[in-house]
A and B are shown apart, each in its own frame.
Chain A
């Protein structure tokens, strides 16, 4: 029963993918969209079933299908593990996935390759489910690479535009850098513990005392690099903003809600391993905090609506990594979930706006949309409040917990994180004000076509907005259902419930105040003074550095891409030709020897006679004299 249901859960989207690939074109756009949505909804229903089951039994479900890869000291099998963590992930992956599929039916309706779009989305859900429910690291790796592939396919969905293709390629390659790290981590774990299976690994690690901490740290670090690639942390974050080249539902699903949280999933999965490597945890915390701040600063000045959201995603992911680094895995998971709600809502809302403006993404050409797009505006507002950490929206709870954990561990990290949250509030409301308030700044033609999006688009927005509002309930500061639910996963005793004192209340107040200050500044600037960001060419000073994302792309390009390219050029022009001419040279030497040898055979009897006499002398000397 469990096995077949798991297979249903897993294979439903895959069947949707196959069906859409082979027959999508012939059954028509709507049908292919509905089919795609239904398959994911099936998975969602199954996930709900499993969730109910595990809420009662508290028993993880283990399923073995067949042997996959045979290594000398262990074998990897194709197996699945449905425990609290994976089911939780399944719920919001398939849940948000279904919503976004639904949304896409309307959003992508004008695209000629809609069936392909749904095929890829289904494939993505399939791989994401594989990633989540795999019972060992290698099955996780299948999903890990698979979602990267789908991300590649979807970013480059409009493949006639080579810039989009470049962005897709960049995403895939940067992910692969992380994947190499993940693989190395897997190798080290495999050779240390002779298993890749989570369950066995957990017993092996928690049950043994004298472990080689150095190697565990190296493994943890390698895994962290993998997480960096997938979850867009410094130094591998630059692909995520570029990934906005894909259709907006893709950005919402893959690059905000689900795929980018895979790194957090993996680290939470292996929390017992990371607990043993405090140095790596520190690195994770620092990287997370720095990423959140850097991304937030960049987001301050971006003018592309999706770019702002992308950097905001990077920033929020940074906060999650901060929590991971501090050992507060359940807090990170909590933020993943609330973030999935409000960020998906934000992206879909921005998609709704872009849809209404026929592809315009520049905020400088928007404004005043509040009047025509009421529902979009309202959901967008709720999500913005949530991400800014204003009570009682979900983001407040999760973000507050992260800040609290940071405060407990390290004041500097807390300051950085608070600063990032303040900026978050500012740029989100900057976005909101520029988009929805004041007068419309686009062309008259666009203005005449302005309209609220159809219900297929607004329905997911409403659902997500509701979730973004109430999502915080799953982990209230004093009574956390989530912490209890996840407790069996963690080696350490679950993060002790904060006993609320003045410090905690003060921290909460500071956080809320920070959010309000951010909103206030944005209000003052963009509503009161009605400032519109300058044109690209007029940006100067530090803002220009920020606008150009600290020139990180250019630096990477110069350091890595250009050097590899020039190395390639060097190899092609010099090394290859040198090696080739060496081989030809060998031939030439032989040839030359032949020519020289030919001269000896010149037909002159006189010389032959000389050679003859000398030869006799040599032979006689050798035979009789050389003893």
Chain B
């Protein structure tokens, strides 16, 4: 039994969903999503027992490319995140009608497939293929099923597509160069390379461009807010919940260990960039008029902090970053789902048109509040664990980094509470607002429960990721 099974399930699921037809599509997709989750849990069990669940097979002879899937703790954690979020995301979409549902759900599973592949791939070219593959479904999801004016949407989505694709091409160039040097795309061969400082710098920058656009780190973030706003809720969740993490994961897995000298040399610059993202994103979020855009900028702020954590090159920074990635994945999916719930009832994303919802739907208000609190990293939520660890690692580098990065605690509270106040509180709204339905409530409760469970007891995840992160630190310090 090995990890390729998850990929197979998801791919087969995508086809099965397409064949199942519009009526059954959502249920079939949910079934395969849960199957993938179950499979990954079983695999996790095998992994924890010390079995080898990696998969390696020769694929192309010339150039030397292998179909290599390597599952270590880090990959498993990310796969689990994807596998857990996919069914939740599919489940959240149950309240909304989608035209041509079979294609829609098939694309979701296909995207999940590509992202799991990205997290597992241990061969540079294979990784690159999965990386680009994940872009295709989200492009169609955002373009076809998105909200708002079609022309505007097209502009935003095409910008996103070309922008990320262009960034990734630099990564491909870097991989080709590395292949010239190492004679293989396999990650362990790339780890063994001893490149000169200049080479490392160029490779680092090439990777950085690809990841900075995907994550996004300022100033490469301009695609984000518009796409988040225009994409359907499911697309936004996939993008913010999992796809952003692809970039962050790749920083840890590929960028830092392959070009450690450059990473060490210019560490401060990249940490500063991440922290600038924190402050900038938070401040920009303050004046957003659209709920989804506001959440997009809050996402920018959070991933900025995560990125800063990864570039500290310390075990705390990496661990905190991974924890925060997972936590942020859940919270952001929850928050975008909340915005979708409001959208279903009011058919608008404009904050000014909301307000006074709390009296009408107390359950929804409470769950929204909890998600807001989790997003501002209240202790006992999972986000706090991650944020604390990341900020701690930053304080080890320089206390000012921690102070500036820590402004997220203040500014985050400011914009989130301001948003909550404007959306939920105040005089009772004249428009009716039905409280959450069973399906909606279930999805939200699931997310909240996970956040609190891991907030109080993050040990399982910490234990899972720590050995592999320590290995990566070892690789980084090899020179």
Contact = CB atoms under 8 A, between A and B. Distances in A.
Given A184-B403, A187-B391, A187-B402, A160 B425 contact: yes
B438 interface: no
A576 B396 CA distance: 32
Contact of B283 (A156, A169, A564, A580): A564
Interface stretch (B79-87, B241-249, B408-416): B408-416
Given A564-B283, A580-B222, A187 B392 contact: yes
A162 B222 contact: no
Nearest to B223: A583
A626 interface: no
B417 A579 contact: no
Contacts of A502: none
A190 B394 CA distance: 13
A445 interface: no
A179 B410 CA distance: 9
Interface in B380-413: 380, 385, 388-389, 391-392, 395-396, 399, 402-403, 406-407, 409-411, 413
A69 B388 contact: yes
Interface size class of A (residues with CB under 8 A): 35 or more
Interface string B270-289: 00000000001001101110
Contacts of B458: 68-70
Nearest to B281: A571
A569 interface: yes
Contacts of B328: none
Interface string B359-396: 10000001000000100001110000100110110011
Given A72-B314, A583-B223, A568 B283 contact: yes
A584 B219 CA distance: 13
Contacts of B319: 70
Contacts, number: 135
A156 B316 contact: no
A160 B356 contact: yes
Contact of B378 (A70, A146, A187): A146
Interface size class of B (residues with CB under 8 A): 35 or more
A159 interface: yes
A567 B427 CA distance: 30
Question: Which of A70, A138, A567 has the most chain B CB atoms closer than 10 A to its own CB?
Answer: A70
Interface of chain A: mostly helix, strand, loop or mixed: helix
A565 B287 contact: yes
Contact of B219 (A162, A567, A579, A587): A579
Given A569-B287, A571-B280, A579-B219, A173 B414 contact: yes
Given A66-B459, A583-B159, A180 B407 contact: yes
Contacts of B162: 587
Question: Which of A156, A184, A571 has the most chain B CB atoms closer than 10 A to its own CB?
Answer: A571
A132 to B, nearest CB: 15
Interface string B149-163: 000000000010011
Contacts of B223: 583
A78 interface: yes
Given A145-B379, A172-B417, A71 B287 contact: no
Contacts of A575: 280
B456 interface: yes
Given A184-B402, A568-B287, A160 B428 contact: yes
A159 B316 CA distance: 40
A567 B283 contact: yes
A183 interface: yes
A152 B316 CA distance: 32
A68 B428 CA distance: 41
Interface string B416-460: 011001001111100000000000000000000000000011110
Contacts of B379: 138, 141-142, 145-146
Interface in A137-180: 138, 141-142, 145-146, 149, 152, 156, 159-160, 162, 165-166, 169, 172-173, 176-177, 179-180
Given A68-B458, A145-B378, A180 B399 contact: no
B284 A568 contact: yes
B459 A576 contact: no
Contacts of A177: 410
A589 B359 CA distance: 53
B413 A172 contact: yes
Task: Rank and list the top 5 A-B pairs by shortest CB-CB distance, nearest first.
Answer: A187-B395, A142-B379, A580-B222, A568-B286, A568-B287
Interface of A: 21, 66-72, 78, 138, 141-142, 145-146, 149, 152, 156, 159-160, 162, 165-166, 169, 172-173, 176-177, 179-180, 183-184, 187-188, 190-191, 218, 564-565, 567-569, 571-572, 575-576, 579-580, 582-584, 587
18 contacts: A78-B456, A142-B380, A169-B414, A169-B421, A180-B406, A180-B409, A183-B391, A184-B395, A184-B402, A187-B392, A187-B395, A188-B395, A564-B411, A568-B284, A568-B286, A580-B222, A583-B222, A587-B159
